[in-house]
Amino acid sequence: MGHVLIQHLQKEYVDRRHKRRDADDPNECGINCIRVLDDVNLEFSDGEMVCILGPSGCGKSTMLRIVAGFDREYSGKIFINDKEVRGPSSEHIFVFQHSALLPWMTMRENVALGLRHLKDKELMKAKIQEYIEMVELEGFEDRYPHQLSGGMQRRAELARALAAEPDIMFMDEPFAGLDFLTRMKMREEVVNMHEFIGKTILFVTHDIDDALIMGDRLVVLSGRPSHVKISRRLDFPRPRDFRKEPELSELRNEIFLMLGVNYAV
Ligand SMILES: Nc1ncnc2c1ncn2[C@@H]1O[C@H](COP(=O)(O)OP(=O)(O)O)[C@@H](O)[C@H]1O
Ligand SMILES: [Mg+2]
């Protein structure tokens, strides 16, 4: 189960280096205080692939950390499966923004980290193999992270997260730094993986096409202090093609304008 409810989420950072410039500026909420999230209300169904877009610095990572239970300093309420979030839970897992593989462990050992709780070693071995095969990395089990390409490292991270069999996966810009073709391939892999496991995924990206191609739901946040500009289902058939779905192209132009870019295709 992976139902998520975010009610009246508000977040401010106190930063001693930050100086208030203008008392009327809505970004400023007091001396040394930056308001990042401003009354964010969202609801995601169990199994939804939610893609969260927003300008850089608007608070996407902050929101993910709060929902995952890593940051308790906010106002508002967060519920996962009707239970209020009070800290990180082993039922959810975070896929970090940058490579989270341990460099001194082989790919197989890294994937096994998510399965440490299993007592049955045979079952553990079988599961590790299952997830390595799911991301098409068989044959590379004994390689260390630096011996894998960028795309392979991301797939290994995915296998590690999947092996933990979480209810919800939090993915914070997991495609950052990947070249264009690898990114295309990773989109396909994540969509296939999501179809296969059917778990809720909160996927943060600043790439509009990632969101429109992959999401069951699109969330667009405004600039800081962030509120929700769009939260809507994307019930377009897959594989998605902008040329065949004029509504999808229109939506893309609408989001570009919303994010302050006049870009028509
Ligand atoms: N620990 C922190 N202390 C002070 N300010 C922070 C902290 N973490 C993030 N911020 C600020 O909050 C804003 C939102 O950050 P973040 O959530 O990382 O944005 P995004 O992921 O959307 O790029 C940024 O302006 C950032 O500088
Ligand atoms: Mg971020």
Could you tell me if the CB of 97 is within 6 A of ligand 1?
A: no
Ligand nearest to the Cα of 14, by number: 1
Could you tell me if the CB of 40 is within 6 A of ligand 1?
A: no
Each residue of 156-212: pLDDT tens digit? 988 888 888 888 999 999 888 888 898 888 899 889 889 988 899 999 998 999 999
pLDDT > 90: percent of the chain: 57
For ion ligand 2, residues whose CB falls within 5 Å: 61
Could you tell me if the CB of 73 is within 6 A of ligand 1?
A: no
Domains and CATH numbers, the chain: 1-91+168-179+198-265 (3.40.50.300), 97-165 (no CATH)
Instruction: Tell which atom from ligand 1 comes closest to the C-alpha of 59.
Output: 17
Q: What is the pTM of this model?
A: 0.89
Residue 31 is predicted with a pLDDT of: 66
Q: Is residue 262 very low, low, confident or very high in pLDDT (cuts 50, 70, 90)?
A: low
**Identity of the residue numbered 47:** G
Could you tell me if the CB of 36 is within 6 A of ligand 1?
A: yes
Instruction: Tell which atom from ligand 1 comes closest to the C-alpha of 58.
Output: 22
pLDDT of 255 over the 90 cut: yes
To test the pocket of ligand 1, the residue of 14, 16, 61 to mutate (highest count of ligand atoms within 8 Å of its CB) is 61
Q: Which residues of 137-152 are buried (b: 16+ CB within 10 A; e: fewer)?
A: beebeeeebeebeebb
- Cα 118 to Cα 53: distance, rounded to the nearest angstrom: 36
pLDDT > 70: percent of the chain: 89
Instruction: Tell which atom from ligand 1 comes closest to the C-alpha of 173.
Output: 21
- Cα 151 to Cα 149: distance, rounded to the nearest angstrom: 5
DSSP the chain: ---EEEEEEEEEEE-TT-----TT-TTB-STTEEEEEEEEEEEE-TT-EEEEE--TTSSHHHHHHHHTTS----EEEEEETTEE--S--TTEEEE-SS----TTS-HHHHHHGGGTT---HHHHHHHHHHHHHHTT-TT-TT--GGGS-HHHHHHHHHHHHHHT--SEEEEESTTTT--HHHHHHHHHHHHHHHHHH--EEEEE-S-HHHHHHH-SEEEEE-SSSB-EEEEEE----SS--TTT-HHHHHHHHHHHHHTT-----
Could you tell me if the CB of 59 is within 6 A of ligand 1?
A: yes
To test the pocket of ligand 1, the residue of 36, 38, 171 to mutate (highest count of ligand atoms within 8 Å of its CB) is 36
For residue 51, report the distance from its CA to the centre of ligand 1, in Å: 19
For residue 59, report the distance from its CA to the centre of ligand 2, in Å: 7
Each residue of 19-67: pLDDT tens digit? 656 656 655 666 678 899 999 999 999 999 999 999 989 999 999 999 9
Could you tell me if the CB of 241 is within 6 A of ligand 1?
A: no
